[in-house]
Amino acid sequence: MGDELVVLRGGSRDGESTEVDEGVRRILAASDAPGLIDVYEANGETQALPGNSERALVFEHAGQEPADGVAPEMLHPPTT
């Protein structure tokens, strides 16, 4: 299974990019809001990113959820 380049839109991670396993359609990311996590979902769009030859899948901010019970290693840290 390969990796896919994604870019996050909205929320506290707006504009950040990362790679996820192919087929991932939901990302949980650390939020700026205490006790909450940002939820991003694939919206079927792609976007060109400077410095990358491949287009990135777009994940749109879908809201926030309580971080209770979510292990830190389950959060996806964007890399850019």
Has residue 56 got a pLDDT over 80? yes
Q: Over pLDDT 70: what percentage of the chain?
A: 90
Has residue 26 got a pLDDT over 80? yes
Which residues fall within 8 angstroms of residue 19, CB to CB, at 6 or more apart?
3, 4, 5, 6, 79
Q: What confidence score (pLDDT) does residue 43 get?
A: 96
pTM of the model: 0.84
CA distances from 54 to 50, 66, 79 (A): 10, 34, 16
End-to-end CA separation in angstroms for the chain: 23
CB 31: neighbour CB atoms within 10 A?
18
The predicted model gives 43-56 an average pLDDT of: 94
Has residue 15 got a pLDDT over 90? yes
